[in-house]
Amino acid sequence: MKLKDLLNEIEISRGIKVEVIGDQIIVNGSPLKRLDIAYRGMSDRVYRGYLFTDEGQINLSGGDSGLDEFLNAINYNYQKLGIGLNDFLKGYGVEVTNSEMDVS
């Protein structure tokens, strides 16, 4: 492994390795295909983010913290970039979906 590869790969909680290579986001060695953001019931509170790759589903840590860790790892900052998450991830071939979790 080259030094540049070490610098591009970030490990976030739960042992998830995230790397941005060219026009792809690689998660645990597999290209990211979809990010699903699950919300608590009918609210705007994040329950958890789910990453989908060719190798299957990877669960981020719960709440905003897990999603924020992932967004920091891919250098997404909507205030600085001026674009929404959907548009940002579309450039990497990643679909963003939303779902609801009934946590009652």
Q: What is the pLDDT of residue 7?
A: 53
Q: What is the pLDDT of residue 104?
A: 60
> Contact at 8 Å (CB) between 48 and 59?
yes
Q: What is d(CA 82, CA 77) in angstroms, rounded to the nearest whole number?
A: 8
Is the pTM higher than 0.85? The answer reads yes
Q: What is the pLDDT of residue 93?
A: 97
| Model confidence pLDDT, tens digit, residues 24-62 | 999 999 999 999 999 998 788 999 999 999 999 999 999
Encode burial over 77-89: b for 16+ CB neighbours within 10 A, e otherwise: eeeeeeeebeebb
Mean pLDDT value of segment 16-24: 94
Task: Report the amino acid identity of residue 4.
Answer: K
Q: What is the pLDDT of residue 52?
A: 98
Pairing state of beta strands 95-101 and 46-53?
unpaired
The mean of the pLDDT values for the chain is 90
Q: What is d(CA 11, CA 38) in angstroms, rounded to the nearest whole number?
A: 22
The DSSP 8-state label assigned to residue 13 in this structure reads G
